[in-house]
Structure 1
Amino acid sequence: MLTILILAALLLLLLTAGLTGFAFRLITQMKLQPPERIFEYLESTGVYSRERFDNLAKKEVQVTSKDGLTLYGYALEFNPENKRWVIIVHGYTVSLYVSAQYIDMFDQKGFSVLLIDQRRHGNSQGRYTTYGFMEKYDVATWVQWVLEQYGEDCVIGLHGQSFGGGTVLEYLGIADRRVKFVVADCPYSDLTKLMRHQMRVLNKIPTFPLLWLVNRRMQRVAGFRMEQVSPLKAVGHSVMPVLFVHGTKDNYVPTYMSMELYERKPEPKRLLLVEGAVHANAYGVNPKRYAEEVHALIESAIGMEGLSEEYYSLQNEAEPAAAT
């Protein structure tokens, strides 16, 4: 009987270790999608094509992250004389190609566009995805690159989708004063809540003790804990204009997450819920309404420049997001 109990305990330990390793890799090192698959999706929704992207006049650019990684992007100098730039940040397992769908929307408002590969994605270096914990500093590096290349008086906006939405919201805690607005498309409000939802609801896996074990491994191997990533905390301390976008049928990152982010965020803020859209396809479902909301955000944010001293005194007086 004792032997059976010992064997059963060992089997349980092995199973738990195996599940922990699998979940850790799924969260931080999931297989990346090739460009061909990304463009197949964009073309199937009618929002962009491989041919259009290939014909764009674009400049390959690289920067070095604060921890020594080479990060890769494309600069599209549509309107360099306007000194308006938007940095578009993609989601998990894809790359900068998926961001091409948003190019026209910003070009119409006189913006040049910087498409970037997040760390571990596309052509950028990196071993683990940290959901904004380190990626927010990568965004800061790209912001600085724009200012150095095109002038300290540039007006910069950020757009992020899914994991990219979480990244740009995390960036609010360290935002440069030249960044004027953020569009967060289907972002998560809190990483722990997101992983609990995806384990329990999507994968039918018990969260205890697996979530705790995965979190320990993330701290030990990838250098961060889930509780250190919470856009909900970051938005609560920011007065930067933000547009939250979410599909009403999103079950991968639940729609309520954008709603609670919107509730926590001080003014100015906007919320667009796209009826019938699932995860990361709000633009594909209703591009006209999406663009209208983004343009309205831009007009209100740029219009705030006349109140810049008051605006940035408020920004500086606001308690910064907790350091993580």
Structure 2
Amino acid sequence: MRRRLRALLLVALCVPLGFAGCSTLAHKERELVFNVAPGTASWYYGMPQGMVEKRLPIATATGVQHVDSWWWPADDPKAPAVLYLHGARWNLTGQLFRIQQLHDFGFSVLAIDYRGFGKSDGDLPSERTVYEDARVAWQRLTELQPDPARRFIYGHSLGGAIAIDLASQFGTHAGERAPARGLIVESSFTNLAEIAKSLSTPWLPLQLILSQKFDSIDKIAKVDLPVLIVHGTGDRYVPSRFSEELFQAAHGPKKLLLVPGASHNNSMHVAEEEFRQAFTKLFGIAPNPA
């Protein structure tokens, strides 16, 4: 991932050199950001029993496209439901271990592949299209779990930025119930430019150059939900200080869970009991016992 971000930085620095190649450079930037791996992940062992696959329609300027979704209901029909938003590179077949963990915690899980990933329609994703896909998936979750008090959003890595954007769109008025119980963000970052800066010279104005912003640091201040932020201190791809900055910017009920030695991908597994305790304290709902 660090190599990919360095390449992204080089692309960004090339943009001001001339407008003739801007379209090509912007396309390359999106390729580097999403880094979509085709096909099925080598560790995928098949869809678990009880999981339902469904294609969700989304209207575009050129017609209707579809987002591939997996719905895995919990045994308890009253269980809380979570929208799972994955990060870059791997499609849903590479995400099953994390979906399994959320299901083991007692959640019903709705997970999607953004357009350009897996079986979803579309070619190369963009910041705009993944935000659209998340909103379509959220609408589906509201149908599957009508009770707002039992709905959650979870995003990992780049999916954390997508989850924060989605949650920031929820507008509530005095006396109205929030559309969701809470937001969970794991191994994410403040914005794309800051990650690129961390690999180069900090004074470069990359936020003005990159076309893909993923500006979570500003959006999380607009999130009117309890927020649980999880990050491993041993993350080699996204330093945990980014989650500390997100935590500081969040203004509502919040909890930061830094997991000593955990990597980019295994914080919830390494700190399973700590996650359960944080979840219960912040959201008031206890996951299934281990």
Q: Indicate the TM-score class for this superposition, using the shorter chain for normalisation.
A: 0.7 to 0.9
Query: 1:111 Cα shift?
Result: 1.7
What runs of 5+ residues in structure 1 fail to find an aligned partner?
1-12, 41-49, 219-224, 305-324
Which residue does 2:36 correspond to in 1? Answer: 32
Of the three residues 263, 277, 281, the one matched with 2:265 is 281
The answer as to 2:285 corresponding to 1:292 is: no
Query: Conserved in 2, the CA contact under 8 Å of 1:86 and 1:157?
Result: yes
Which residue does 2:50 correspond to in 1? Answer: 57
Q: Following the alignment from structure 2 to structure 1, what is the Cα–Cα distance between the partners of residues 194 and 103? A: 36
CA deviation digits over 1:49-101, x for unaligned, max 9? Answer: x33x4343211112123544311111112236115211111111211223322
- Tell me the TM-score normalised to structure 2 length: 0.74
Query: Conserved in 2, the CA contact under 8 Å of 1:20 and 1:214?
Result: no
The answer as to 2:216 corresponding to 1:231 is: yes
Amino acid at match of 2:196: M
Query: Conserved in 1, the CA contact under 8 Å of 2:38 and 2:117?
Result: no
Query: Conserved in 2, the CA contact under 8 Å of 1:140 and 1:175?
Result: no
Q: Following the alignment from structure 2 to structure 1, what is the Cα–Cα distance between the partners of residues 194 and 160? A: 16
Q: Following the alignment from structure 1 to structure 2, what is the Cα–Cα distance between the partners of residues 235 and 15? A: 30
Which residue does 1:136 correspond to in 2? Answer: 131
Q: Following the alignment from structure 1 to structure 2, what is the Cα–Cα distance between the partners of residues 79 and 22? A: 49
The answer as to 2:157 corresponding to 1:180 is: no
Q: Secondary structure at the match of 2:167?
A: helix
Which residue does 1:194 correspond to in 2? Answer: 195
After TM superposition, list the pairs within 5 Å mapping 1:50-89 onto structure 2: 50-51=44-45, 53-65=46-58, 67=60, 68-79=64-75, 81-89=77-85
Query: Conserved in 2, the CA contact under 8 Å of 1:120 and 1:129?
Result: yes
Amino acid at match of 1:144: Q
Q: Secondary structure at the match of 2:88?
A: coil
Q: Secondary structure at the match of 2:77?
A: helix
Pick the structure with more helix per residue.
1
Q: CA separation of 1:22/1:178 partners in 2, compared to 1, >3 Å: closer, same or farther? A: same
**Identity score, percent:** 22
After TM superposition, list the pairs within 5 Å mapping 1:112-261 onto structure 2: 112-131=108-127, 133-151=128-146, 155-175=150-170, 177-198=178-199, 200=200, 211=206, 215=210, 218=211, 226=213, 229-261=214-246
Amino acid at match of 1:270: K
What runs of 5+ residues in structure 2 fail to find an aligned partner?
1-13, 172-177, 286-290
Query: Conserved in 2, the CA contact under 8 Å of 1:274 and 1:282?
Result: no
- Tell me the TM-score normalised to structure 1 length: 0.67
Amino acid at match of 1:27: E
Which residue does 2:8 correspond to in 1? Answer: none
Q: How many residues align?
A: 260
Which residue does 1:318 correspond to in 2? Answer: none
Structure 1 stretches of 4+ with a deviation exceeding 4 A read 13-23, 206-209, 211-214
